[in-house]
Amino acid sequence: MRDTHLIIAGTSECPFHSSLGESMKVLETALPGVKLIAQAPIDDERGFFSRVYCRETFSAHGLKEVTAQVSSSFNARAGTVRGLHFQYPPAAETKYVSCVRGAIFDVVVDLRPESPAYLKHIAVELTAAARRGVYIPQRCAHGFMTLEDDTEVSYMIGQSYVPDLQAGLYYADQQFAIAWPRDATIISRRDAGWPQFSEVRDIIGKRMRCDECSLEN
């Protein structure tokens, strides 16, 4: 006989958080303006429901919108490297990066000459299970290494792609001393060919400086 038992998910509690900060937690990092965004899934018998992005929450924390483009990258093998990427002003990008499948070692490098953290970086592990993301303000470089096979990464971006302003830095540049968790197994020819910081120091110093800009968004 067909099982007709039906589970009715509890409705005595609010179906979703109504106040800012409950559905998403915005956490500080060591780089000015770079935030760790932690989702707060609501669980019931069906599974869970989680808010991935909230314009009001971002605005309440002084963060820019990141809805000009939404992109995804699929990476078949662990050890795949993408980055370090950025765009020069006036098309500098704000990004909100999360891992929706698998796991990544995610890196942000501060390229804002007026920042007290200039040339410093943070690295954080993002996994589909942990449901965290990184908010990256304009004029920072971003890259990652996959930690698992079949990893997918989501990017919400506040600026359209402008090929003439796209740039990058070599991911293993000793200037940044990034402690990548393993040797790269796959990297594109383009990413492997990005310059060392020492080769473009003056260009970055000139084109990325913005003394009137806020470091917080």
The whole-angstrom separation of Cα 106 and Cα 34 is 12
State the residue for tokens 């410093």: 120
What is the per-residue pLDDT for 103? 98
Model pTM?
Answer: 0.86
Find, among 63, 17, 18, the residue nearest to 40 by Cα.
Answer: 17
Which is the catalytic residue, given 53, 85, 135, 170?
85
- The answer to whether 155 is a known catalytic residue is yes
Smallest CA-to-CA distance from 120 within 198, 52, 175 is with 175
Model pLDDT, residue 62: 87
Question: What was the pLDDT predicted at 56?
Answer: 85
Q: Which CATH architecture has domain 66-207?
A: Sandwich (2.60)
Q: What is the pLDDT of residue 12?
A: 31
Closest of 120, 164, 116 to residue 141, by C-alpha: 120
Which tokens go with 191?
């990413």
Task: Give the CA diameter of the chain.
Answer: 76
- List the one residue out of 35, 155, 153, 144 whose CA is nearest residue 93: 155
CA distances to 4, 5, 6, 7, 119 from 1, in Å? 9, 11, 15, 18, 66
Active site residue 171: no
pLDDT along the chain (217 residues), means of 10: 44 36 81 92 80 84 89 97 96 96 98 96 95 95 98 95 96 97 97 98 95 78
Q: Which of 53, 88, 135, 155 is catalytic?
A: 155
Record the tokens describing residue 147, joined without a space. 């930690």
